[in-house]
A and B are shown apart, each in its own frame.
Chain A
Amino acid sequence: MACILVIDDSAFARRMTSKALKAQGNEVLEAESGHHGVELAEKHEPDGIVLDLLMPEMDGLEVLNILKDKGLDIPVIVLSADIQESTQTECMEHGAAAFLKKPVQENELIEVIQGVLCSK
Chain B
Amino acid sequence: MKCAADKIEVLKEMINIGVGRVADLLNTMLCSHIRLEVPSLKILSSDELETELCKCGNERLSCINLPFKGDVIGVAELVFPAESASKFVIALTGEEADTIDMDSIRAGTLSEVGNIVLNAVMGTISNLLGFKLRYSVPSYTEGNFNSLLPVHPIVPDTRVVVVQTHFVVEKLEVEGSIILFFEMGSFDKLLEKLETSYEGKKR
Task: Give the number of residue pairs across the A-B interface with Cβ within 8 Å.
Answer: 52
Over the window 5-38 of chain B, the binary record of Cβ atoms lying under 8 Å from chain A Cβ atoms (1 yes, 0 no) is 0000000000000000100010011000000000
Which residues does chain B contribute within 8 Å of A72, judged by CB atoms? none
Which residues does chain B contribute within 8 Å of A66, judged by CB atoms? none
Would B132 and A84 count as touching, CB distance under 8 A?
A: yes
How many residues on chain A are close to B (CB under 8 Å)?
18
B99 within 8 A of A: no
B126 within 8 A of A: yes
A47 within 8 A of B: no
Would B123 and A13 count as touching, CB distance under 8 A?
A: no
Would A10 and B119 count as touching, CB distance under 8 A?
A: no
Would B135 and A54 count as touching, CB distance under 8 A?
A: yes
Which residues does chain A contribute within 8 Å of B126, judged by CB atoms? 84, 86
A109 within 8 A of B: no
Which residues does chain A contribute within 8 Å of B21, judged by CB atoms? 83
Would A11 and B108 count as touching, CB distance under 8 A?
A: yes
Bound Cα distance A85, B29 (Å) = 23
Which residues does chain B contribute within 8 Å of A13, judged by CB atoms? 112
Would A12 and B93 count as touching, CB distance under 8 A?
A: yes
Distance (whole angstroms) from the CB of A78 to the closest CB of chain B: 13
Q: Which of B124-171 contact A (CB under 8 A)?
A: 124, 126-127, 132-133, 135-138
Would B120 and A54 count as touching, CB distance under 8 A?
A: no
Would B112 and A10 count as touching, CB distance under 8 A?
A: yes
Which residues does chain A contribute within 8 Å of B28, judged by CB atoms? 103, 105
Bound Cα distance A9, B111 (Å) = 11
Contact A84 B127, CB 8 Å, known A10-B115, A102-B116: yes
- By a beta-carbon cutoff of 8 Å, the part of chain A in contact with chain B is 9-13, 54-56, 80-86, 102-103, 105
- By a beta-carbon cutoff of 8 Å, the part of chain B in contact with chain A is 21, 25, 28-29, 92-93, 105, 108-109, 111-112, 115-116, 119-120, 123-124, 126-127, 132-133, 135-138
Other A-B pairs, 10, CB within 8 Å; known A12-B109, A103-B116: A12-B111, A54-B115, A54-B137, A56-B137, A81-B120, A83-B119, A83-B120, A83-B123, A102-B119, A103-B28
